[in-house]
Amino acid sequence: MVQNALQFDTDLADGRLPVVLRGLVVLILTGPAIGKFVLYADRVGRFTQYGIPAPEIMVVVVGVLQLFTVGTVATGVLARVGALVTVPVMVTAMVVASANVANALVLVSCIGIVLIGTGDEYIWDPLGVGEAVTR
């Protein structure tokens, strides 16, 4: 059993779990990310209702961060960075707008991606904890 720098079994990191985590993030987060732009006025109203400062700007910022995460996690390029960026966004959403299953799944999936990476399908590994680029 080979251990990587974060002390996780590489068999786990190279198996199906990273693919499942990535799939959950992409499937669940894509709709809300696009919704920040398509339903902008509605989202600004919700952010205002939640008491988020500068809601007109924050809707765009959160939407861009979510799209960034979807792109990075889907492609495996900077996936850990994208997942890490989404952790505070999801925690804030759960505290401010109330926790739900979708937010919890995205949060847990992003934490998992940060810890174990993207498995065999990553493109870049800046921390050097992966085995080798498989593409």
pLDDT tens per residue across span 4-48: 545 555 455 557 888 899 999 999 999 999 999 999 999 999 999
Report how far residue 115's alpha carbon sits from residue 86's, in angstroms, rounded to the nearest whole number: 14
Phi/psi at 134 (nearest 5 deg)?
-100, 5
3: β partners: 9
Neighbours of 77 (CB within 10 A): 14
CB 113 within 8 A of CB 85: no
Confidence of residue 1 (pLDDT cuts 50, 70, 90): very low
Q: What is the pLDDT of residue 131?
A: 47
Total length of the chain: 135
Which of the two residues, 49 and 77, has the higher pLDDT score? 49
Q: What is the pLDDT of residue 130?
A: 53
Its pTM stands at: 0.77
CB 20 within 8 A of CB 111: no
Q: What is the pLDDT of residue 99?
A: 87
Q: Which tens digit of pLDDT belongs to each residue from 83-126?
A: 999 999 999 999 998 889 999 999 999 999 999 888 766 555 55
Q: What is the pLDDT of residue 133?
A: 41
Q: Where are the domains of the chain?
A: 10-121
Q: What is the pLDDT of residue 27?
A: 95
Averaged pLDDT for residues 59-72: 96
